[in-house]
Amino acid sequence: MASSDDPLALERQVCFALAVANRAVLSVYRPVLAPMGLTHPQYLVMLALWGSAPMSVKAIGEALQLDSATLSPLLKRLEASGLIVRERAQDDERRMDVGLTPAGLDLRERALDVPPTVVARLGASLEELEDLHRVLTGINAKAIAAGALDPKG
């Protein structure tokens, strides 16, 4: 059995702690987003669009660090649900732009309740979550700088 000073002890692994935290946090989001008809990945797309719609598909992928194979099905489902529209850019037919429908814009109002609800359900202080966000953002930036993570998805 591994001891706590063993470098291969499961409980010492950052990857394990992140994997468990990821599952735990997403399990908190799931019931909060379900009444809005969104999955967590769809919510991330909507957050990007609520911040600066319209956006090109490429810009959304870069913002979310997702490749087009992952992003395309998300966009198709959001379009089918009436929240977004995808259109060829008028100035460049190769570019697909994504905009919000009136229903997509209206959903933003309901989404304002998501962050405080998630914070409350996690049982962590806002300060703890902001510190965690800062640390994770820094690790992501270091991974990108080291070439371990492609910022374009």
Predicted confidence band of residue 2 (pLDDT cuts 50, 70, 90): low
Per the structure block, which two tokens stand in for 125?
């202080």
The predicted model gives 88-92 an average pLDDT of 87
pLDDT of residue 132: 95
Structural domains of the chain, ranges and CATH numbers in brackets: 12-145 (1.10.10.10)
* Of 1-5, 62-66, 78-82, highest mean pLDDT: 78-82
Quote the CA–CA distance of 137 and 48 in Å, as a whole number.
17
What is the reported pTM?
A: 0.90
Q: Collect all residues with Cβ–Cβ distance below 8 Å to 33 and sequence separation of at least 6.
A: 39, 40, 42, 43, 114
Quote the CA–CA distance of 46 and 81 in Å, as a whole number.
12
pLDDT of residue 89: 83
Contact between 110 and 74 under an 8 Å Cβ cutoff? The reply is no
Contact between 88 and 56 under an 8 Å Cβ cutoff? The reply is no
Contact between 75 and 86 under an 8 Å Cβ cutoff? The reply is yes
**Cα 145 from chain centroid?**
21
Residue 53 has pLDDT above 80, yes or no: yes
Residue 94 has pLDDT above 80, yes or no: yes
